[in-house]
Structures are given as structure tokens and as C-alpha cells.
Structure 1
Amino acid sequence: MINMMANRIAVQIKRTAPDHPASIAVLRYSIALLLNAVLIITLTLLLSAFTGRTHEVLVILVSFALLRQVSGGIHLNSGMKCVLATTALFTMLSLIELSAFYMVILNVIAAMLCLLFAPSRIQQQTRIPVQYYPLLKWISVLIVCSNFLIMSPVLSLSFAAQSMLLIKLRR
């Protein structure tokens, strides 16, 4: 569905501006990414209005995206699956209450997973040269470890969820 919408928009853009240097495929890819993000943010914020957890959802949206940018992670094979899974995950995470003990446990687990697996699956997603991947790993760990100072239950949940998406086991 997202790809169909992105294709229609890309074709319309190309029809309106035929001399634009970007191909329909490039436009479609960029528009699909944009639609994906807009749908995730919009649906998650709408649900948070019903749950009364808008502040928590905003923290999750920003922190998850920040960590994901430097650590990478698994990608679903469909934009709509991504929208639905991410919206459900963020909404569920916003509803969980944690004690300080469990925050520390989740922070440690998330930091260890970043140390072991970050960056994960970013080869075709970034223009960052491979020689900087160790730096991305340490930035990921530092982002997670910042929550030892902040001690936010929402950040603990967000970082733990994102770090679990880094795991890539070899067969």
C-alpha cells in the first residue's frame, strides 16, 4: 500500500517535472521512506491521545529513531508491516511502568547488545564508510548509557527494544 502510494506520487512528480534529474525509482524510494515515517508518527500519536501517554510516545519516537540511526537494525519486508509493527510496539512500550531496578537491568542489556551487534544491517542503508562502524558502535553504547544518568523508564524500554532489533544470529 505504501509502495503503491509512493509510486503514484513519484509518477505524478515526474509528469509535472519531467526534467527533474531523479528517476521514478529514486523518487518512489524516497517518498516511501517519508510516508513510512509520517504514518508511524501520526498513528502512534493518535493512539497516544486515547491512552493518555503522549509524552511517553514522543520520548519513544525520538529516542528510538536516534539510536536506530547509529545502530541500525532489522527491517521488515513491507512498509505497511513496518508501520503497524512499529506503531503497536511504541504504543505498548508507552504503557509499561518500570522500577529503577528494571531500568538498570534493561540499560545494561541494551548497552551489551549495542556493544555486541551495533551497527547491524546498515550496509545498504547508509553512506557512512565501514571504517567508521566502530565509532557508530561506541556512539550507540554511549546513547544507551546516558540513561544511567537520566534514569527514564521510557528511555530504558525504547533503547532495549531497539537494541534487540540489532541481534543477527548466524546460521
Structure 2
Amino acid sequence: MIEPIALRMAQHIKSVVPNHPASVAVLKHALAVILNIFFITASTIVIALLTGKVGEVVTIMVAFAFLRQMTGGIHLKTGMGCVVVSTLLFTGLSFINLDYKWTIGATLVSMLLILVFAPAGIEKQTRIPPRYFPLLKVGAFIAVSFNLWIANPFIAISILAQTLSLINVRR
């Protein structure tokens, strides 16, 4: 569903601005990413409004997205699959409430997973040269370690979910 919408939008942009330097394929890809983020955010927030978990969901989404930029992770084959899985994941995580010990434990496990697996699968997703990937690992490790001080259970569960997505058994 996302790809056809992005294609129609890209074709429309190209028809209105035929001299635009970007090809239809490049525009389609960029628009698909934007639509993906929009649909995930909108659907998750709508559900959170219905469940009364808006603060939790926003915390989870921000922590997940922030860490994902530095560490990467698995990608689903379709944009719509990503929307459905992400929406269900963020909504489901908002109902998990960890106590202090579990919050610290989840954070420590996330830190270990970052040391072992990060960054994962970002080679084709970023313009950052591979020589800087170790810095991404260190940055992610430091960022996650702040939750040892903050001890936010929703950040802990979000970063744990994100770092679990780094594990690729085929690698």
C-alpha cells in the first residue's frame, strides 16, 4: 500500500516539475520512507489516545527511533509490514511496566547487545562511511547507559526491543 502511494506521488511530482533532478525511483523511495514514518506515528498515537498510553508510546517511539539511527537492525520486506509490526510493537510495549531491577537489567542487556551486534544492517541505509561504525557503537552504548541513571522502564523496554532487532542469526 505504501509503495503504490509513494509511486503515484513521485510520478505526480515529476509531472509537475519535469526538470527536477531526482528520478521517479529516488522520489518514490524518499516518499515511501516519509509515508512509513507518518503511518507508524499516526496509527500508534491514535491507538495510544484510545488506550490512554500517549506518554508511554511517545517515550518508546523516540527512544527506539533514536537508537535505531545509530545501531540499525532488521528491516521488513514491505513498508506496510513495517507499519503493522511497529505499531503493534510500540503499542504492546506501552503496556509493559518494569520495576527498577528489571529496568536496570533490560538496560544492561541492551548495552551488551550493542557491544556484540551494533551496528547491524546499516551499510545500505546510511551515508556514514564504515570507518565510523565503531563510533556509532560507542555513541549508542553511551546513550543507552544513561538509562542506568534515568531508570525509565519504557526507555528500557524500547531499547531492549531495538537491540534485539540487531541479532541476525544468518550473519
Aligned to 2:29: 29
Aligned residues: 171
Whether 1:129 aligns to 2:165 is no
Q: What secondary structure is seen at the aligned counterpart in 2 of 1:95?
A: coil
Aligned equivalents of 1:142, 1:74: Cα separation in 2: 22
C-alpha distance after superposition, 1:41-91 (max 9, x if no partner): 000000000110000111111110000000000000000000000000000
Aligned to 2:104: 104
Task: After TM superposition, give the deviation of residue 104 of structure 1 in Å.
Answer: 1.1
C-alpha distance after superposition, 1:112-132 (max 9, x if no partner): 001100000000000101110
Q: Aligned ranges for residues 42-57 of structure 1 at < 5 Å?
A: 42-57=42-57
Q: TM-score, normalised by structure 2?
A: 0.98
Aligned equivalents of 2:25, 2:140: Cα separation in 1: 32
Aligned equivalents of 2:148, 2:19: Cα separation in 1: 52
Aligned equivalents of 1:55, 1:94: Cα separation in 2: 9
**Which amino acid in the other structure matches residue 159 of structure 2?**
F
Whether 1:118 aligns to 2:129 is no
Identical-pair percentage: 44
Structure 1 residue ranges, 4+ long, deviating more than 4 angstroms after superposition: none
Whether 1:142 aligns to 2:142 is yes
RMSD, aligned α-carbons: 0.8
Structure 2: runs of 5+ lacking an equivalent:
none
Task: After TM superposition, give the deviation of residue 105 of structure 1 in Å.
Answer: 1.1
Q: What secondary structure is seen at the aligned counterpart in 2 of 1:14?
A: helix
Task: After TM superposition, give the deviation of residue 11 of structure 1 in Å.
Answer: 0.3
Aligned equivalents of 2:133, 2:12: Cα separation in 1: 38
Whether 1:155 aligns to 2:155 is yes
